[in-house]
Amino acid sequence: MSRIYHDGALRNKAVQSVRLPGAWDPAAHQGGNGVLLEGELIDVSRHSILDTHGRKERYYVLYIRPSHIHRRKFDAKGNEIEPNFSATRKVNTGFLMSSYMAFWMPESEMEVMELELGAGVRLKTRGDGPFLDSLAKLEAGTVTKCNFTGDGKTGASWTDNIMAQKCSKGAAAEIREQGDGAEDEEWDD
């Protein structure tokens, strides 16, 4: 289950189902270097796509109000070059919507994220299409939780982590009684 919190009344987001007349091929929309974007999560919607071959995929669409947008750049070896976030200049947004943007994330990846509406996020797209390569939660301008490759599953149960820590410490702890550690001559008889 995805964990998206909102202070308003509890409302389940309905899944919008689409049946395609052809094959569903997200890779066809992933050409180019893509963008790196920071902004605020405004809303989410859920979508299910079924193509003619019976392939079914489910996505969350995240609606983001952008604050910073940079084109992703790579060096000759294919390593990504981090942009200078303090550098700003006005650019023609072209296909980008100026008030908010919609990005698609597979439901399975969204299930391990904990996001609140209004939260700051940093995302990278797969190519110049709407599909996400990575998503990170921002707090005070720094990345705190993310789903970048190589990271453990974000959103893992913190209760399980605490209990595992408690169990490992519990085995090493000695059982002590009143007065343990005091020398015999320190006792008043």
Encode pLDDT of 24-56 as tens digits. 998 888 888 999 999 999 999 999 999 999 999
pLDDT recorded at residue 12: 65
Q: Which residue has the higher pLDDT, 96 or 86?
A: 86
CA dihedral angle for residue 95, residue 97, residue 98, residue 102, rounded to 10 degrees? -130
- Could you tell me the pLDDT band of residue 114, with boundaries at 50, 70 and 90? confident
Average pLDDT over residues 148-173: 54
Q: Is 180 inside any structural domain?
A: no
Measuring CA to CA, which residue among 55, 89, 53 is closest to residue 71? 89
- pLDDT cut 90: percent of the chain above it: 34
Average pLDDT over residues 142-152: 52
- Could you tell me the pLDDT band of residue 95, with boundaries at 50, 70 and 90? low
Domain housing 68: 3-171
**Mean predicted lDDT score pLDDT of the chain:** 77
Q: Is 116 inside any structural domain?
A: yes
Residue 109's CATH number: 2.40.50.140
The alpha carbon dihedral of 169, 173, 177, 181 has a sign of negative
How many domains does the chain contain in total? Answer: 1
- Tell me if 164 sits within 8 A of 151, measured CB to CB: no
Q: Is 177 inside any structural domain?
A: no
